Amino acid sequence: MMGYFLALMSVLLVSGAQLIMKWAMVELPLVNRPYELITAVITLTPGAIALLAGLFAYVCSMGCWFLALRRMALSKAYPLLSLSYVLVWAAAIWLPWLHESFSMGKLVGVCVIFIGLLFVCIPGKKR
């Protein structure tokens, strides 16, 4: 059970990291303006803080992932990563500052991912 908990924590952290870093990339100056970008990072603008928070969330996610892999089979853990696609897609549409649009085709794709995840992770009958 602890393995599933750690794997889900990893998924939540990496999903949060994606969302935070997307916002950071919108807020920070473009890389073709290196002086402005470096200044923004050094002065810890909100975009730079979000970038650092996103990177920290990635590191924490990897830590949870390593611990999860010690406790559960890779064949069960790895499919759980696809849950992040579902979470990030839903949150990107729901959070207005990310300016993502809804489409029925994307919803169908996310549903297929989720159904596939259920097939892999729900235990079947033992013979």
Q: Each residue's pLDDT tens digit in the chain (127 positions)? A: 899 999 999 999 999 999 999 999 999 999 899 899 999 999 999 999 999 999 999 999 999 999 999 999 888 888 888 889 889 999 999 998 888 889 999 999 989 988 888 887 776 655 5
Residue 127, domain member (yes or no):
no
Residue 74, domain member (yes or no):
yes
Residue 72, domain member (yes or no):
yes
Residue 87, domain member (yes or no):
yes
Provide the whole-model pTM. 0.83
Residue 126, domain member (yes or no):
no
Residues 6+ apart with CB under 8 A from 83: 8, 11, 114, 117
For the chain, the domain total comes to 1
Supply the range of the domain harboring residue 112. 2-121
Residue 64, domain member (yes or no):
yes
Q: Which residue reads 């473009």 in tokens?
A: 30
Residue 96, domain member (yes or no):
yes
